Chains A and B, each alone.
Chain A
């Protein structure tokens, strides 16, 4: 049951109505029930997994909270974290591991072939297992108290607006809100509507439309010129942001309807001037999780350059692996790690050059150049993220560089031969124009929402309706109507 399913909205309306009818103390129980029902409807077997992790962190947190920081509590902590990662690993990474072992065995001439398992990956496991780890680490580090109610732990892990694709909320931020007073009239409904609708716009109108083009080109890359492959890679770069950010905005909007304030997950990452800045703005809940629970515990940048680079590489390889079980994700993560290391190494040289050549760094043109370079570095790495098998990735990159064939750009209707017809292509461009305009507004007006809320009601409502109906009409969704089936050939 995804956000774009009508049944989700029916479910949401019912849950919301009951939520605001119930007394304050019962609200979280209803939310817990709704979250469990939602998860059961999505994946009945995966509930066992979620419940197991919830029980593990609930009881171990009780022990860790009362005990002193001694060897046994450290062993308990490591065991729990290891068990959570094992559960995640069994479902998500074991087949990847088996494939690699089989590959090595075949290379050394051993004929035995370990079979793959057919376990389905429980929905949201990557998100709630990280939430569980952050909870147990916070309690073990005495940064917060253990939760007294198992129900609230389950709610933290399974909170239905966030379970499918995050954001990975921190326990402090979440639990502080569970018992807060929630009144229907106190909810910022206009913000809820706008953020949710904007999320849908990003996902259904932009990302899914660009997805058609990207799938078409990458699916038949031999038939396209190098510039078209480069164009597809840029489209994918935009698609993945609109997809992730769209989903996050929907999750934040829906959680907002229950009076929950959710952390921002994306903050205009493609306007970053460096890779380091990019990672402060991309999937913020995940990158800050890695920073707090992996990079800093590994020593961060405290123990010399070499160890800093080692830590950076570990973090980014893990980040890549978190996104998917495949070498392409590892390469994607590794590339970002290398980008950062090179950036760090060349930083002083760059500064010296800038100084020697009297280059002004505080001007728009310099920043634009920095932004473009960062964008294309990120864009290049996304190619590895998008295409699973390495030979294809290599062929696409080769074709991009050796067979650019820019002359074909002047061929008639060349832009409409990439999976989108003329009308869809124009709608996609127009929607991207709106998205860019709004992004620039967000960049240069720190609080766009407050600015928007100061506008007259008529203007605001027109914007809401245009956005909602824009999504309903121009969104790419549903099997839908097939014009060819309707056209009555004879008449």
Chain B
């Protein structure tokens, strides 16, 4: 009897420890992109038309609820900030184990990156938000060095120092307003000042002609090949997209020319593997792109820019793959209401943007 009591006590102690450990991990884990990403694993839809992967540019550049409203396309945006092509590959692999879409739209923004797996925090961002039963274990084993496994299996030990940075957001239930997409009106610089694109983009974006090309790093190409092979194996259509931007950090030589040249080079890669590729840097006039309004900063699209890209991408997907309008599907009955909520949010973004501009003008006049 004494022994049974002892065993019950020991098991209870360990069990409570792990429950508390799990709860603490949820609180301390960084929430960048987590809200939108995690909700995907809780969605009950099992037949997506399209899943979108990529960097923050893609994350704020394609709005699934607008695709739904305008074309009846059922999609989810799984892009996360700073995701290299390697990370994209593992993200796709894990996601399609859970929900297999008809089409995958991948992002070539980080094609210049030759650092495998990118920054440690970005790896955490992706892996920590994956559910255990959808390839998280495999992703850790494939991507992470054994000596770092502990930071992924028991990631409270990695995030514990965040106790200083905790905010109310860390304690609230996660939700996604726009199926993974995070629309922006404008950005702020490190001092919190409003980034007014009109100040910076008074002239059209410099466009590098398609004929000017630059070699893509092999590390990135290797994962392009892997993504292509994976999609072919799973019989999923694949589209690569280069989003409009002004310049990009590591290859930012004045006007982002190197990046544009790599995007030009990607036409050859797409042709080689027989995949679709849209380079929006050469479609700006067609989609009526205005950098002053449609860019939130040097790299990212504003919500108006996202509307233009989303609209064009939706039209492309419908015409190219014959996607049907799924309005009326009982599984998706809440999506219209969610779109209306998004519209209100966008209107709010617009008002906020105008207020900031007025402040700048008043300051200037003063």
Contacts and interface: CB of A to CB of B under 8 A. Distances in A.
Interface of A: 6-7, 185, 189, 421, 423-424, 461, 464-465, 468-469, 472-475, 477-478, 480-483, 485-491
Nearest to B158: A481
B121 A481 contact: yes
Interface stretch (B137-145, B198-206, B263-271, B294-302): B294-302
B87 to A, nearest CB: 15
A490 B13 CA distance: 44
Given A472-B156, A474-B160, 13 more contacts: A465-B17, A465-B20, A472-B21, A473-B156, A474-B163, A478-B157, A480-B160, A481-B30, A481-B158, A485-B119, A486-B30, A486-B125, A490-B184
* Most chain B beta carbons < 10 A, residue from A189, A474, A485: A485
Contacts of B17: 465, 468
Contacts of B154: 6
A478 B158 contact: yes
B190 interface: yes
B202 to A, nearest CB: 20
B233 interface: no
Contact of A461 (B2, B16, B56, B124): B16
Contacts of B10: 189
Contacts of B16: 461, 465
Contacts of B124: 481
B159 interface: yes
B187 interface: yes
Contacts of A488: 32, 56, 81
Contacts of A475: 160
A194 B244 CA distance: 58
B359 interface: no
B245 to A, nearest CB: 11
Interface in B118-171: 119-121, 124-125, 150-151, 154, 156-165
A469 B20 contact: yes
A486 B187 contact: no
Task: List 7 tightest A-B contacts by C-beta distance, closest first.
Answer: A485-B121, A490-B187, A480-B161, A6-B150, A423-B164, A473-B160, A486-B30
B64 interface: no
A342 B157 CA distance: 50
Contacts, number: 84
B185 to A, nearest CB: 11
Contacts of A464: 13
B28 interface: yes
B233 to A, nearest CB: 33
A478 B151 CA distance: 10
Interface string B91-114: 000000000000000000000000
A176 to B, nearest CB: 27
A68 B7 CA distance: 54
A185 B3 CA distance: 8
Contacts of A423: 163-164
Nearest to B59: A491
A98 B287 CA distance: 78
Nearest to B119: A485
Interface in B189-226: 189-190
A491 B121 contact: no
Contacts of B119: 485
B333 to A, nearest CB: 31
A490 B190 CA distance: 9
Nearest to A7: B150
Given A486-B30, A486-B32, A489-B190, A481 B300 contact: no
Interface in B286-322: 296-297, 299-300
Contacts of B160: 472-475, 477-478, 480
A27 B55 CA distance: 56
B190 A469 contact: no
Nearest to B150: A6
B260 interface: no
Contacts of B24: 469, 472-473
A489 B188 CA distance: 8
Contacts of A465: 16-17, 20
B296 A490 contact: yes
A491 B162 contact: no
B187 A491 contact: yes
B84 interface: no
A88 to B, nearest CB: 32
B158 A486 contact: no
Contact of B161 (A6, A461, A481): A481
* Most chain B beta carbons < 10 A, residue from A423, A468, A491: A491
* Most chain A beta carbons < 10 A, residue from B28, B124, B157, B296: B157
A487 B124 CA distance: 14
Contacts of A421: 164
Nearest to B28: A473
A481 B162 contact: yes
Contacts of A469: 20, 24
A465 B154 CA distance: 17
A486 B29 CA distance: 11
27 contacts: A185-B6, A423-B163, A424-B164, A461-B13, A461-B16, A465-B16, A465-B20, A472-B24, A478-B151, A478-B160, A480-B158, A480-B160, A480-B161, A481-B30, A481-B124, A481-B159, A481-B161, A485-B119, A485-B120, A486-B121, A488-B56, A488-B81, A489-B189, A489-B190, A490-B187, A490-B300, A491-B81
Given A481-B124, A481-B159, A491 B182 contact: yes
Contacts of B157: 6, 472, 477-478
Given A485-B119, A491-B187, A473 B163 contact: yes
B60 A491 contact: yes
Contact of A490 (B56, B156, B161, B164): B56
